[in-house]
Every structure is written in structure tokens, then in C-alpha cells.
């Protein structure tokens, strides 16, 4: 991957292949939009320094009302994404080779990296961070949503739930920042894929060769 490829690709007559179906793209963007709303409103509720975000998004009461509801939508969307993509996100032998060579990836020595399937090891790790993060956020969030349901003798559990909520949020934020940076700036072809569903065949061959080979052999078998 080159750090120079930062502009959106120009339209060309280059052959393209399908990377994301319409259902996958809708699922992805329900995740994306609900996550960004929870992130912004969560930051507003987290510290008075960021409470101005709540003012922009309708006020403290509005944000407190909608944050957990949109949070449940986000968790449902992650569940949906998990049901569609989990089989593509299993760690393979090849991923472990990729992991062992992560230094080359960071230093943009892509030619030294082992050929990748549809997703590389880093992309798979992000997926699992979001899945486990969503579980942590949901379980702890329910306690924070309905604290009055927690009996007096169980009140000690609330600070623990706040801690779990914050740790889960921080893990997803770290993954999310890398995800958006990689997807939008480092691999703009991938961004085009998650919008239109299609990516140039040459990009697929360069970064996801095992997947690209699989797609072309499947299309030859169909002919």
C-alpha cells in the first residue's frame, strides 16, 4: 500500500469486481451512522469538556434519551454484520504469517507481505474488536440505562459497569480511528467499494490476491 495514493480514484474503464453487495453496504452504513451518533453523544455524556456536542445535537436531555436507543440499534447492526461476515473473519494460517510480518506492512513494504484473502488480519481484528466491544457496551449500558432497577445492596456494581462501558468504548474508538484512516485515506479504492460495491480488479489483485483469484476462478466456472 502506498501512502501516496491519497486521492479518490478517477473513473476509468478498468475492469471491476464486486466486493460488497447492496445488503452488505446497507448493513455497513447502518453500523457506521449509529456508531458515530453513539460516539459523539457518548463523548458529550463522558466529560463536561465535550458537553458542547450535546448542545449541538439537541441538548442534554435529548442526547441522554437517544444515546441508549441508538446504542441498541448499533448493537443490532453489529449482530447483523456478524451474521453476514463472520465466516470471512476467521483467522487463517496466512493471517498468522501476515501478523508476523506486520513491520513490513507498517513500513509500506507491501510486496513482501503474503497474499491476502478478502480481508487482511488487521481488518479481521477490527471486526472482532467491534463485535466484542458491542457486547461489552450493551451489557454494561443496560445497567447505566436503568440504574433504578439495581437494588440498593447491588449499587457497588454500577462503577464497575461504568468502567466496562468506558473500556469497551475506548477499544472501539481506537479501532474505529484506524479503520476510517485506512479505509478513507490509505486505501481510497476500498472506500469506493463500500459506497458503490465494486473495486478495480487490479486493486483486488494487489492487496487481496487470494480473494481476487477465488472470484475469477468462480466466474470462470460459471461461464
Positions in the binding site for ligand HEM (CB under 6 A): 19, 28, 31-32, 35-36, 78, 119, 123, 126-127, 130, 176, 179-180, 183-184, 187, 190-191, 193-194
Could you give the angle at the alpha carbon of 154 between the alpha carbons of 159 and 68, nearest 5°?
A: 55
Rounded least distance, CB 16 to ligand HEM, Å: 13
CB-nearer residue toward ligand HEM: 154 or 185: 185
User: In this complex, which beta carbon is closest to ligand HEM, that of residue 28 or of residue 165?
Assistant: 28
Q: Which is nearer to ligand HEM, 158 or 213 (CB)?
A: 213
Q: Which three cell numbers stand for residue 169?
A: 468504548
Q: How many other C-beta atoms lie within 10 A of the C-beta of residue 137? A: 27
Taking residue 73's Cβ as centre, other Cβ atoms within 10 Å add up to: 18
Instruction: Read off the C-alpha cell for 107.
Output: 513500513
> At its nearest, how many Å lie between ligand HEM and the CB of residue 178?
9
Cβ 99 vs Cβ 121: under 8 Å:
yes
Shortest distance (Å) from residue 130 CB to ligand HEM = 4
Of 29 and 163, which CB lies nearer to ligand HEM in the complex structure?
29
Measured from the CB of residue 126, what is the shortest distance to ligand HEM in angstroms? 5
**Position with the least CB separation from ligand HEM:** 183
**All cell numbers assigned to 53:** 456536542
| Gap between the Cα atoms of 215 and 220, Å rounded | 9
Measured distance CA(107)–CA(3) in Å, rounded = 10
Instruction: Tell me whether residue 67 or residue 179 sits nearer to ligand HEM (CB atom).
Output: 179
Nearest approach in angstroms of CB 69 to ligand HEM is 17
- Burial (Cβ within 10 Å: 0-12, 13-18, ≥19) of residue 167: middle
Amino acid at each position: 500500500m502506498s501512502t501516496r495514493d491519497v486521492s479518490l480514484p478517477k473513473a476509468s474503464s478498468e475492469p471491476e469486481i464486486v466486493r460488497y453487495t447492496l445488503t452488505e453496504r446497507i448493513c455497513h452504513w447502518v453500523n457506521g451512522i449509529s456508531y458515530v451518533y453513539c460516539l459523539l453523544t457518548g463523548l458529550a455524556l463522558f466529560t463536561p469538556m465535550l458537553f458542547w456536542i450535546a448542545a449541538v445535537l439537541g441538548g442534554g436531555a435529548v442526547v441522554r434519551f437517544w444515546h441508549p436507543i441508538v446504542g441498541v440499534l448499533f448493537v443490532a447492526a453489529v449482530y447483523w454484520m456478524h451474521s453476514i461476515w463472520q465466516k470471512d473473519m476467521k483467522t487463517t494460517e496466512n493471517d498468522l504469517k501476515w501478523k508476523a510480518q506486520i513491520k513490513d506492512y507498517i513500513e509500506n513494504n507491501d510486496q513482501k507481505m503474503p497474499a491476502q484473502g478478502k480481508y487482511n488480519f488487521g481488518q479481521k481484528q477490527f471486526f472482532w474488536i467491534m463485535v466484542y466491544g458491542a457486547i461489552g457496551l450493551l451489557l454494561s449500558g443496560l445497567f447505566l440505562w436503568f440504574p433504578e432497577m439495581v437494588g440498593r445492596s447491588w449499587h457497588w456494581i454500577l462503577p464497575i459497569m461504568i468502567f466496562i462501558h468506558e473500556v469497551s468504548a475506548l477499544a472501539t474508538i481506537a479501532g474505529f480511528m484506524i479503520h476510517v484512516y485506512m479505509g478513507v485515506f490509505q486505501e481510497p479504492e476500498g472506500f469506493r467499494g463500500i459506497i458503490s460495491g465494486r473495486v478495480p480488479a487490479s486493486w483486488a489483485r494487489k492487496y487481496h490476491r487470494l480473494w481476487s483469484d477465488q472470484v475469477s476462478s468462480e466466474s470462470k466456472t460459471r461461464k
